[in-house]
Copies of this chain bind each other. A is one copy, B any other.
Amino acid sequence: MASLITLLTDFGTSDTFVGQMKGMIARIAPEAQVVDLSHEVPAQDIAAAAILLADAVDAFPDNTVHVAVVDPGVGTERAALAVDLGRFKFVGPDNGLITPLLDSGAVRYAAKLDPARLKPKRRSHTFHGRDVFAPAAAYLARGDRPTDLGEHVRTIVTLDLPQPDITDERVVAHVLLIDHFGNLITDLREDALLPWGEKDAPLQIDAAGTPIGGLRRTFADVAESEPVAYIGSSGRLEVAVRNGHAGRVLGLKRGDAIEIRRV
């Protein structure tokens, strides 16, 4: 049974790069289903890709192969990885993209991809998405295991991603991403906020000087154009402006702080 393959890249969709990856997958695993996560990761922004991927994996069936290619080091000595994380597999460059996934499951096997085992027709030095990662994902979707694709690696590169700063007095979260609607996604997960704030304990949330009020269930809990804080669909604290663009209205950008205190 061929499983599902997802693709996350910074390739954009104006060229045929993504299509060529899918062509290569179809040559090796014609039965595999391919789903695009996004191809509009800001160019070479590994941290953004890492968060987008980690927040999406829960929606997918078991045994999905997640391919992420944001790869400023293509052509250098950086390794290419295939990693078995139990419920799913990861394929991508060894540049930290996998970091937040490492919290979600134990690494069962991490292989450094060996091009000789991928038998591509040709291999460019600039497009490993097509020539290395797509074939590796296709072999995994067909049932091969990471052990079949390369030698074990003991150490995986990780990133220092923003972490909320939690003291007894207050929590400081940081804006990780701003989504298509202008909503601010933070590094503060529900399971870190709720024990601190106690369920239903009144909180006071401030975003760059704008008081947002307490924690709501959804943006529909405030009036039009009002700011609102809630736990978003990926389990993180988010700040939005109802039917508006919070990033612009509140003047916040990636990395900026959101402060939470008990009332």
A residues near B, CB below 8 A?
4, 6, 8, 11-24, 26-27, 30, 33, 35-40, 43-44, 52-53, 55-56, 58-61, 64, 72-76, 121, 124-127, 130-131, 179-181, 217-221, 230-233, 238, 243
Contacts and interface: CB of A to CB of B under 8 A. Distances in A.
Given A19-B59, A22-B35, A23-B56, 14 more contacts: A15-B52, A16-B55, A19-B36, A23-B61, A26-B35, A43-B181, A44-B243, A59-B130, A74-B218, A75-B217, A125-B217, A125-B218, A126-B219, A127-B232
Contacts of A19: 6, 35-38, 56, 59
A180 B12 contact: yes
Given A14-B40, A75-B221, A23 B55 contact: no
A97 to B, nearest CB: 14
A73 B26 CA distance: 33
A157 B20 CA distance: 27
Given A40-B13, A180-B14, A59 B23 contact: yes
A24 B125 contact: no
B180 A56 contact: no
Contacts of A35: 19, 22-23, 26
B14 A60 contact: no
B181 A131 contact: no
B233 A127 contact: yes
Contacts of A181: 43
Given A218-B74, A220-B76, A23 B6 contact: yes
Nearest first, the 5 closest Cβ-Cβ pairs linking A and B are A75-B218, A127-B233, A12-B180, A75-B220, A23-B59
Contacts of A243: 44, 72
